[in-house]
């Protein structure tokens, strides 16, 4: 095997067995020499995958973004669902951010990649549906490539690492600086205003409070607001992002803008308060679930479900070469899907700073989500992580916020009103 070549996943599993055989004294000197040469070719990121365990054989229900599986009889379905999620990891050798900045996000971009993943899941639900599945070497729909193209590492993709890093400067984050869940949520909210194809309403709920009236005003704009300048529509931009020109007409006819609801929370001081664990689990059961972004200090993950007392997540901490679309707009996409068993960690090890995500494609979906949340608040062993309110209470009222309309420069006004620093969460307590 040539030096410097990373080994494929099946060989990694064989090598794992070979190491065990070596330790047991069952390999000869020649095999040991070959094994040592192979190990020398592995990167740290590749070795991480060699330690992954297969999905557990358990009678516990497995929940993946609102879908319930049986691990004993539906393991292939579980892995297919996980593999179909868009997996964004560190990349290297992409065009320099800002022209002269970093060409790799290794070591600092994990939360940005997790933000991309939770947003990509919303776009998949929006354009392909929750039941859509990716299959290796199978030609996918054009809408799939349009979704993927929105996250490619180049400056003119709506949600690229370039756009997120540069928009983050407005949130007080230097390019190359680590983000928290709240910061990436605020940045993605701003970037979504330019995505005329998806025409999303993005709400970041602050102060652990979701106000129903605010969301309905955001998702049901007047006809005059719908065609506002906040949604650029130049032919060049639509061409760069690969989106159809009829997107704006669909936007004008829409009575409800599909909602991405992101709720930044802090569920404890230095570790998660156990009183919130059951509520967190319940969130993964909802059909509107987009998952959770969070992880451990300075190590972000995208959590897509749970089994027993373990969270299931996609890990962005492996570095892959940047991908360039071909002249025909085809994108080599295998590296954007995690084709090994998903990672797991104990829920009790989760850092308390997280952001929970939900997607409501229709007003009916949002009404159903509100009903779920109200029922969840009645479960004695499930302490609510946030408050659901019909109207804004007087102590929250501020004319500058309540009078916002989708066609104004809301991002700057909201930025002045809300402190977006991740350290400024209100601590939830019993």
Cβ atoms of 79 and 55 closer than 8 Å: yes
Sequence-ordered list of residues with C-beta below 8 angstroms from that of 207, at least 6 positions apart, any chain: 396, 426
97 within domain boundaries:
yes
Is residue 90 included in any domain, yes or no? yes
Percentage of the chain lying above the pLDDT 70 cut: 71
Number of domains in the chain: 1
pLDDT category, 422, cuts 50, 70, 90? very low
Residue 329, domain member (yes or no): yes
Determine the average pLDDT of the residues in 318-331. 83
What's the average model confidence in pLDDT over 132-157?
A: 94
Rounded to whole angstroms, the Cα distance separating 130 from 145 reads 16
Q: Which are the contacts of 319, defined by CB distance < 8 A and separation ≥ 6?
A: 43, 45, 89, 90, 91, 92, 104, 106
Q: What is the phi/psi pair of residue 70, to 5°?
A: -105, 115
Pick the range with the lowest mean pLDDT from 40-49, 281-290, 328-337: 40-49
Residue 173 maps to a domain:
yes
Angle at which helices 363-376 and 212-219 cross, to 10°: 170
**Residue range 349-366: mean pLDDT, rounded:** 96
Q: Is residue 422 part of a domain?
A: no
What pLDDT sits at residue 53? Answer: 63
Q: Does the pLDDT value for residue 342 go beyond 80?
A: yes
The region of weakest confidence among 135-139, 194-198, 229-233, 399-403 is 229-233
Whether the per-residue pLDDT at 155 is higher than 70: the answer is yes
Write out the H or E segment, with its range, that includes residue 202.
strand 201-204
CB-CB contact of 237 with 195 (8 Å): no
Mean pLDDT value of segment 270-284:
94
Residue 358 has pLDDT above 80, yes or no: yes
Pairing state between β 387-389 and 209-211: parallel
The per-residue pLDDT for 24 is 55
Residue 169, Ramachandran bin (φ over 0: left; ψ between -120 and 50: alpha; else beta): alpha
List Cβ neighbours of 171 (8 Å cut-off, separation of 6 or more).
183, 186, 187, 415, 420
pLDDT average, residue stretch 232-250: 45
- Residue 50 covered by a domain: no
> What is the rounded (10 degree) CA torsion for 175, 177, 182, 183?
-20
Nearest to 180, CA basis, from 60, 294, 309: 294
Q: Residues of the chain with pLDDT > 90: what percent?
A: 61
Residue 287 has pLDDT above 90, yes or no: yes
In a domain, 37, yes or no: no
Q: What is the pLDDT of residue 222?
A: 61
Q: Which residues are catalytic?
A: 110, 315, 317
Is it the case that residue 129 has pLDDT exceeding 90? yes
pLDDT tens-digit map of 365-397 = 999 999 999 998 888 777 899 999 998 876 555
- 60 pLDDT exceeds 90? yes
426 neighbors 205 (Cβ within 8 angstroms): no
Name the residue range of residue 358's domain. Answer: 60-220+254-389
Q: How far apart are CA 128 and CA 204, in angstroms?
A: 24
Q: Give, in degrees to the nearest 5, the angle at Cα 80 between 128 and 90.
A: 80
Q: Looking at residue 48, what is its pLDDT?
A: 43
- Residue 240, domain member (yes or no): no
pLDDT of residue 119: 98
What's the length of the chain?
430
DSSP-derived letter for residue 277 is: H
Cross-strand bridge partners of residue 199:
none
Looking at residue 327, its pLDDT comes to 66
Task: State the average pLDDT over residues 253-280.
Answer: 91
Residue of higher predicted confidence among 39 and 75: 75
């Amino acid at each position: 095997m040539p030096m410097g070549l990373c080994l494929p996943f099946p060989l990694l599993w064989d090598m794992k067995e070979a190491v065990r055989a070596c330790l047991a004294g069952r390999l000869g000197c020649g095999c040991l020499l070959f094994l040592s040469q192979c190990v020398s070719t592995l990167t740290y990121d590749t070795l991480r995958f060699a330690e992954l365990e297969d999905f557990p054989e358990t009678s516990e229900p497995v929940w993946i973004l609102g879908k319930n599986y049986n691990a004993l009889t539906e393991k292939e379905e579980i892995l297919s669902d996980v593999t179909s999620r868009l997996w964004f990891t560190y990349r290297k050798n992409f065009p320099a951010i800002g022209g002269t900045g970093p060409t790799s996000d290794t070591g600092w971009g994990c939360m940005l990649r997790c933000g991309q993943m939770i947003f990509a899941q919303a776009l998949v639900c929006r354009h392909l549906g929750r039941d859509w599945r990716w299959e290796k070497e199978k030609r996918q729909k054009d809408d799939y490539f349009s979704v993927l193209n929105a996250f490619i590492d180049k400056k003119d993709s709506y949600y690229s690492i370039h756009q997120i890093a540069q928009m983050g400067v407005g949130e007080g984050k230097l390019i190359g600086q680590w983000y928290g869940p709240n910061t990436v949520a605020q940045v993605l909210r701003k970037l979504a205003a330019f995505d005329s194809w998806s025409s999303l309403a993005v709400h970041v709920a602050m102060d652990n409070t979701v106000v129903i009236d605010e969301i309905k005003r955001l998702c049901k704009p007047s006809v005059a607001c719908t065609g506002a300048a906040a949604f650029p529509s130049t032919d060049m931009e639509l061409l760069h992002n690969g989106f159809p020109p009829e997107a704006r007409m669909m936007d004008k006819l829409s009575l409800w803008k599909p909602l991405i609801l992101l709720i930044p929370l802090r569920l404890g001081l230095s570790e998660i308060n156990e009183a919130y664990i059951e509520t967190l689990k319940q969130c993964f059961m909802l059909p509107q679930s987009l998952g959770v972004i969070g992880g451990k200090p300075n190590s972000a993950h995208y959590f897509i479900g749970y089994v027993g007392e373990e969270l299931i997540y996609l890990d962005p901490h492996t570095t892959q070469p940047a991908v360039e679309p071909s002249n025909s707009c085809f994108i080599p996409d295998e590296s954007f899907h995690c084709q090994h068993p998903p990672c797991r960690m104990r829920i009790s090890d989760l850092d308390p700073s997280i952001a929970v995500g939900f997607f409501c494609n229709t007003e009916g979906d949002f009404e159903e989500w509100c009903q779920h949340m109200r029922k969840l608040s009645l479960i004695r062993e499930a302490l609510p992580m946030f408050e659901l309110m019909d109207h804004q209470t007087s102590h929250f009222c501020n004319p500058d916020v309540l009078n916002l309309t989708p066609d104004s420069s809301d991002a700057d006004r909201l930025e002045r009103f809300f402190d977006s620093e991740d350290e400024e969460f209100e601590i939830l307590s019993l």
